[in-house]
Each structure stands twice: as structure tokens, then as C-alpha cells.
Amino acid sequence: MAQEPVPRMFRIEPASASDWPWIVQGEVEIAWTRLGAKGRQEIDRRVVEERTKRRVAEIRQDEGFRNLAFVARTEDGALAGYVWVARTHNDSTGQLEAALLNQYVAEPYRGEGLGRRLMDTAEDWARREDLPRISLSVGADNTIGQRLYESLGYEVETLRMTKKLDSLEEQLEVAAE
């Protein structure tokens, strides 16, 4: 009779300065994946990496934008995941709320409940900040994330849609045909 694997233990704590290069790599992976297969064909990964690094640096340096990342470590100290949350205003109502900037679980640790634990950490942070709501965005192709968030009680409030536009030159070529 096969034994059940022993669940891994994770320690979740605020990120330190030395954790940020790893977090940035997670942010790059998230940004690259969110583009989808078609989007990844239209842009060089290096562009996404540079833009993501700049965006992370800008957010971290903005003293008026309160945010905090929490990292999950294995028992031996290896980084396994993170969640990054911020205090922000709702776009529609202007009310203060928490925003999940991103959540990431490294491949070897997926499917072990770590995403749920990181979300619990984000929600606990929001409660300590006395924020009444927490919002997040999730990629359209990220069905695993969507199921996790729905299982935690999150509801779809807004859908963001995009369309690639032809250039003026391309439009003129079509019109001339």
C-alpha cells in the first residue's frame, strides 16, 4: 500500500530586499504568460522583462502607494511563491480597498494549496489595514487561478477586453484593394 506524500510546510513572511530579484522574475513570468500565445509572437520577451522590471521598481519606490509583498519559503528556505498587495482606491467608487498586484507559485510547489495560503495572507493584510474589499485581475487563460479565486468567494465585476488595431498604413492598403 502506497503512503500519501507528506505535505510540505511553508513559512510565509514579508519579503526582504534580497527576495525582490526572484519576485521580479515571477512578475516577468506572469506578464509573459498573460500575453497568450498570439501576444508572445508579437513581442520580444526582453521587452516584457524590461517593462516589468521598470514597473516593479516604480511601484516599490512610490512612497504614496502602500504595498507589501509576502514570500513563502520551504522548510529549507527556498522561495516557493509570493503574493503582492497594495492599498488603493476603487476605480469606480473611489473607496479605499486592497488590490492584489500579483500572486505567484513556483512550478514545483503548485497544486499543494500554497496559492490559497498566500491569498489568506493577502486578505489578512487587508483586514489589518482596515480595508473593506480586495480586488484582483486574473488572466483570461488562467483557469486554475480563476477557480481558486471563485472558491475563495471572488466574483467577476469587470472584464477587460482588448483589440489589436491595424496601423493607418495597413488600413489604407486594405481600402486601396
The string of pLDDT tens digits covering residues 87-116 is 999 888 889 999 999 999 999 999 999 999
Q: Domain range for residue 30?
A: 10-156
Residue 166 has pLDDT above 90, yes or no: no
- CA dist 4 and 78 (Å) reads 23
The CATH number of whichever domain residue 114 belongs to comes to 3.40.630.30
For the record, the C-alpha cell of 25 comes out as 522574475
Strand, helix or coil at 8?
A: coil
Mean confidence (pLDDT) of the chain: 90
pTM of this structure: 0.85
Confirm whether 163 is domain-assigned.
no
Percent of the chain with pLDDT over 70: 95
Beta-strand relationship, 96-105 and 79-89: antiparallel
Buried b (16+ CB within 10 A) or exposed e, 46-70: eebbeebeeebeeebeeeeeebbbb
Confirm whether 171 is domain-assigned.
no
